[in-house]
Structures are given as structure tokens and as C-alpha cells.
Amino acid sequence: MIVTGGIAVPTAVPTWLTTTTSSPRVNVGCGPAEERVLLTGLHAVADIHCENCKTTLGWKYEQAFESSQKYKEGKYIIELNHMIKDNGWD
């Protein structure tokens, strides 16, 4: 699991991003991919954001350019400061 100020979702398509009919939910959007130099090297990432308020929630790893980082491709990072505790979390 990757923890760099956020949470890695270990699925290629997280359940909160799609419904059971596999049509995208309208409350989460994904921006265009861009290359960024992160602590672990160069990656192509796309920001994910709330469709209602346009707040950036985190990002999706589209491509890792270093072979040791390829496991991140298709995974999501959600920054913890954007998570809200709702009745059910302990």
C-alpha cells in the first residue's frame, strides 16, 4: 500500500468511482493526465475531484516511468484531509 499523505485504493477501478451498472458516478471526476515528478520519480497522473465543489481529492497513477514503480499504475491516492468521518467509522 502507498501512503504519501493519502490512501492508495488497491483496485484498478475503485468501487466508489463506478456503480454496479459500470456507468461512472457523477460526483467524482478525473482530469487529464500530466507528468509530475513525485518523491518516487516521474509519473503520469490525473487529478480526481468532486464534481459538486471541484475540490481536488487526490490523483490516479496513469503511468510510472521507472520499472520499480509500475505497481502504482491504475491506483488512486485520496488525500486524508479530504476524508470526512461519517457515522460508521471507528
How does pLDDT run along the chain (90 residues), one tens digit per residue? 333 344 444 434 444 444 444 555 568 889 999 999 999 999 999 999 988 888 999 999 999 999 999 999 999 998 888 777 676 655
Q: Residue 48's CB: how many other CB atoms inside 10 A?
A: 19
Instruction: Please give the pLDDT value at position 24.
Output: 54
Instruction: Please give the pLDDT value at position 27.
Output: 81
With a pLDDT cut of 70, the percent of the chain lying above it is 66
3-state secondary structure 7-62: EEECCCCCCCCECCCCCECCCEEEEEEEEEEECCEEEEEEEEEECCCCCEEEEEEE
Question: 21-40 pLDDT, tens per residue?
Answer: 455 556 888 999 999 999 99
- Read off the DSSP letter of residue 77: E
Instruction: Please give the pLDDT value at position 22.
Output: 52
Instruction: Please give the pLDDT value at position 40.
Output: 93
